[in-house]
Structure 1
Amino acid sequence: MPTGTAIRDVSQQLFDAAERVLLRGGPNALTSRAVTTEAGCAKGVLHKHFADFDAFLAALVLDRIDRIRTQGENLQGAAGTGTVADNLTKALTDLFGSVAVSIVSLITARDELRTRLHAAGSSGVPVLTEATAMLTSYLAAERELGRIAATADVDTLALTLIGTSHLLFAGRQGDTPATQDVHKIVTSVVADAAR
């Protein structure tokens, strides 16, 4: 990119480039040079907008957490429609079929990033914590509607769904589990609670 050319929505361009690098090469491939090269801009662009590379990574993760919150609002809106298993299958496929598994690997690989995220208010394993909250809220809404048993422990159901789905999606190179495989897990986990 020529010097002096304005870049629109620099942060988003850099975040998208970081996702592509992360998906292609994993956490070890993610460097400031790799991100700016992928984004097609000078390395200084990243450092002009972020104090350092860990600040950039923290902003990337927080941006992805905001996306999970938006996804949670959509899932909440689906309460009472379709089937609980179908709604959960779609939510988990959308969540883990994206860059979430790679982001979790990045968070666990970088101590400074985890520290910054916890300082920003994230707890547990950021991304997974917010995804669990998303499912817990949805399952609680379905419980209120009578589509999940009144005695169902929605916190444990959400944790089980997140953990099992994370294991199903993790470690795959370029292919994602079939929707029916995700659905099978979901129906197994919520079988006793669903009505």
Structure 2
Amino acid sequence: MLKRWIYFTGLGLFITVVSTGFKTKAEKQFGKIEGFHIAPNEITHYTVPTPDETEQVTYRLPYTGKSYIGFKQAVGIKESQGLYKLVSRYGYLGKYQFGKRALRTLGIYDTKEFLNNPALQERAFKALLSKNKYELRKEIVKFEGKIIKGIKITESGMLAAAHLAGADSVKRFLYSNGNKSFRDGFGTSIKSYIKKFGGYDTSIIVAHSSPKVKL
């Protein structure tokens, strides 16, 4: 009798432990994952799939589509693989690979604090987009929807290219019909950024001539 009681007690404990590993639709906060930071006013939760759903597809990643969240995550992956503490061999910093000069224009001087503060990096990225949108406000109206060198020009593509090379380089590309282009130290071109990051919804970005970011 004692042996049977021990057997069934052990079996019950085993089933309890195993079952805790299969909770479906558990909420996961991707804002706490390295390389995926979401501000308080953005969507903060996604769900993981059930066992049945995982059999239907190979991958179930957070789908952000052509939203602003999707845009900034795509740029971050391209720039640094989403690594907030990355410093490139050219001295560019963080997830979005900021130069020190660009940071100073936003009021950020402490690069150590910048590298260790994901939320600050996200605010800085949004602020720089705001500045570039102001610098390119006329070009956005003039060129959006046009085709240059086989590439459809969109606001998000222009903003991404400006992050890569600066607003003036984007203007030279546009007004030269794509004949005057820029490549960074890794050989990445304005044209490739306009194409890769085209069609995202960046309407959340408000143009500002001199945005500043507070620590």
For the aligned pair, the TM-score class normalised by the smaller chain equals under 0.3
Larger Rg: 2
TM-score by length of 2: 0.24
- Structure whose residues are more often helix by fraction: 1
